[in-house]
Amino acid sequence: MCSMSYKSAMNSKLLRCRLLRLVMLILSGGLASTVSAGEPSPVKVCVTTGMIADLVRQVGGDHVEVMQLMGPGIDPHLYKPTSSDASALGKADVVFYNGLMLEGRMGELFDRLSKSGKNIHALTDSIPKDRLISAPDFKDHHDPHVWFDVDLWRQTVPTIVKGLSAADPEGRAIYEKNAADLDTRLVALHAWCLAQSATLPEAARILVTSHDAYNYFGRAYGFRVVGLQGASTVSEAALADVASLVDFIRDQNVKAIFVESSVNPTAIQRVAADAGVVVGGELFSDAMGMPGEVMNGYDTGTYDGMVRHNLSTIIEALK
């Protein structure tokens, strides 16, 4: 036990040293950047996930150039920043990330950058604390998967306007206009989700997935949500968790369960086999699809398309 504690302490120390080196690289990269004369260049924006990138592009339009650290199929819980990430963050005029520990230990990196004066924002800071859901597997922390409640996710848009306007004050009016248009679209998307969910009998609204990413979705649209793993994918599911979930599926007569694009499907496929149910399809949870990838008639490389694909897949499989 002593050797394990020593190993854990050494790993933590090495990680902190690595984060400190990244901070120095980022700050040196930021100081080295220059502004050329002539035509105004786009605001350089660095973001962590696709869901954030999509909102920023809709608010910023042609006035922003978005650099996304975590692409399709990438699990942000397990992501480790690289030197190329440090370069992207250093060149960025503004940085947006999710927060609530979604990006794991990168949160420490962002805290250090914020204290250094970097224009950096956690989108979830704009959501009232009483609207957040506690994460049982993370003491004193909240579930970070807020984008699955469309009405909640739209509350993060003003933070994007704030960050972009700080980097480009002359563009504020454009960002505010684009944000208002985006808000209208998100209100319509939320209404669509409510209407579609209502087509499925309440007793059939049981969503079983690889990990607890859909609690906000369940609360917003009337689903009982059960994940094999907790809100994070850092630790693997135990055999007891698998057996317990199999029993639950049989007891509740669940018709289908779902794999996630950014989580290893092996464990949930085993649950499906043991419980004698089908895998109803692949859902997008912590990462969106490839840009232009159409599934169920929706572009899963966009936030709107991802949400519509997920709900359509769920409803079709559970009917």
Number of H helices, E strands in the chain: 11, 10
Q: What CA–CA distance (Å, rounded) separates 166 from 177?
A: 16
| Domain assignment of residue 219, yes or no | yes
For residue 236, how many other CB atoms are within 10 A of its CB? 11
Q: Which of 85-89, 127-131, 305-309 has the lowest mean pLDDT?
A: 85-89
pLDDT score at 297: 95
**Domain end residue (candidates: 130, 155, 189):** 189
| Domain assignment of residue 134, yes or no | yes
**Domain end residue (candidates: 143, 169, 189):** 189
Of the pLDDT bands very low, low, confident and very high (cuts 50, 70, 90), residue 108 is: confident
| Domain assignment of residue 107, yes or no | yes
List the CATH number of the domain containing 104.
3.40.50.1980
Q: By CB neighbour count within 10 A (0-12 exposed, 13-18 middle, 19+ buried), where does 139 fall?
A: exposed
Of the pLDDT bands very low, low, confident and very high (cuts 50, 70, 90), residue 2 is: very low
| Domain assignment of residue 6, yes or no | no
Residue 116, domain extent:
16-189
Judgement on whether residues 34 and 152 belong to the same structural domain of the protein: yes
Higher per-residue pLDDT: 140 or 274: 274
Write out the DSSP string of 106-169.
HHHHHHHHHHTT--EEEGGGGS-GGGS-B-TTSTT-B---GGGSHHHHGGGHHHHHHHHHHH-G
| Domain assignment of residue 71, yes or no | yes
For residue 300, how many other CB atoms are within 10 A of its CB? 28
Of the pLDDT bands very low, low, confident and very high (cuts 50, 70, 90), residue 262 is: confident
pLDDT score at 212: 85
Of the pLDDT bands very low, low, confident and very high (cuts 50, 70, 90), residue 17 is: low
Domain count, the chain: 2
DSSP 8-state symbol, 69: S
Q: Is the pLDDT of residue 10 over 80?
A: no
Q: What is the percentage of the chain residues whose pLDDT exceeds 90?
A: 71
Higher per-residue pLDDT: 87 or 48: 48
Judgement on whether residues 55 and 145 belong to the same structural domain of the protein: yes
Judgement on whether residues 210 and 283 belong to the same structural domain of the protein: yes
Q: Is the pLDDT of residue 91 over 80?
A: yes
Tokens read off for 37: 């004369």
